[in-house]
Amino acid sequence: MTQTNAKNEITLEIDSLSYGPYGVGRIDGKAVMVPKTAPGDRVAARIVAAKPRYAIGEVLRVIEPSPLRQTPPCPFVNECGGCPWQHIRYDAQLKAKLQNVESALRRIGRLDGFELRPIIPSPQEYRYRRRIRLQCDRAGKLGYFRPASHEVIEIDDCLIADGKLTGFIAPLRRWVRELDTPLEFVEIVTGDEAGQIVIVGKTGGDFVPRDEGACESIVDKAGGIGGLVLYGPNWRKTWGEAAISVIAEHGVSMKVDADVFTQVNAEGNRTILNELLAAGAFQGQDRVLELYCGAGNFTLSLARRVAEVVAVEGSRLSIQSGKLSAQRNGIENIRWICSAVPAALSRLKQRREIFAQLVLDPPRAGAKGLEAELASFGAEKLLYVSCDPATLARDLGALGNHGYKLRMVQPIDLFPHSFHVESLALMTR
């Protein structure tokens, strides 16, 4: 029940969590999205933005707290925008993520008749990120953005970051303030082998040559920092060892440049790979087409099990890392294609290539418009790894119009205390 008063204060019962930083209540049947709330809360709120189909509210006070609430352990949680669900118990977060995946599949994709498996929790609720990105502003502040703004909130620790990372925040803050090259952000990255710390910085302009000394001095293996990467428009410079090790599975270790995309949750990433391999049941005679392969996160493990993998990726740096990792692991049955995915699909289709299985792990925007090309390769199985339930549902729904049937969806949590969730979908013909 929702109540209002003359001061435009409303009383809301929060009944769910959206795919976003909001709890959801209703007023006269219209959804009101309110941050910092939990299912089961009864709150006093006010509307701050009215949209045609929903409204955005803010909490004035919690009248009756939900039993799903917990006290956030992070001292920065009320200022930082990084963990919008930290005030909610982890079991409730998992339930909401599972519900959001199912809702998107049924509402957006119009999909049914599939197995939705229980969500797999992150092995670690805290200290799970092997890389963190700290924003820089013109005043020399280093930290995270305040929610829905570009105001930098300085931090000295982050409870979801690997404990090896946070000790470098203070020295990096001093280093950033010494530079004349203005940085947009700095990332601290660690690998799966001991003693691997690499700093990655991005700027929108040119490198200032007089910063060379400061960049050389920040790389100090005795102090823990083994490498530095700085890059801007059309340039990239490195100092020290700029790569980290990523262990995909037993017997497969990759060397990946620290500024190349890798999943932030190392154990969670191995869970995705294990689920992918199990769902695909790959055979020794299979030819596999893998799209958006990155630096070979799945590619090398797939290649150990099949006759050939054709791996497509648009980033030249990722392809270079993948080739070197394949050589280090003695894997020779991968055909690497550095190309935008639509162009590569067009060329492969012209050659009338046939694949037993398709694997794709696209960015958040998904793979819209590629359904006909994907269906043309005759693959019996299609495995789709997604970080966005909405674009996953859209693409799976479209693939259903080209002869594929959704069989199974496995949600996997890599990002505790946020609304983000990974999913693995299996389709067959």
Question: What residues are annotated to the active site?
Answer: 387
Q: Distances from the Cα of 155 to the Cαs of 72, 161, 173, in angstroms? A: 16, 12, 10
Whole-angstrom Cα distance, residue 376 to residue 296?
24
Question: Looking at 88-145, which runs of residues are DSSP E strands?
Answer: 115-116, 131-136, 142-145
Three-class DSSP category at 59: strand
Give burial (CB, 10 Å; 0-12/13-18/19+) of 256: buried
Contact partners, residue 177, CB within 8 Å, separation at least 6: 140
Closest to 111 (Cα-Cα) out of 429, 408, 424, 374: 408
Please give, one letter per residue, the 3-state secondary structure of 192-238: CCCCCEEEEEECCCCCCHHHHHHHHHHCECCCCECEEEEEECCEEEE
CA torsion 82-85-91-94 (nearest 10°) is: -70
Q: Decide the pairing of beta strands 334-338 and 30-35.
A: unpaired
* DSSP class of 401: G
Contact partners, residue 140, CB within 8 Å, separation at least 6: 173, 176, 177
Whole-angstrom Cα distance, residue 180 to residue 291?
40
Q: How many CA atoms lie within 13 Å of 348's alpha carbon, on the beta-carbon side?
A: 28
Three-class DSSP category at 11: strand
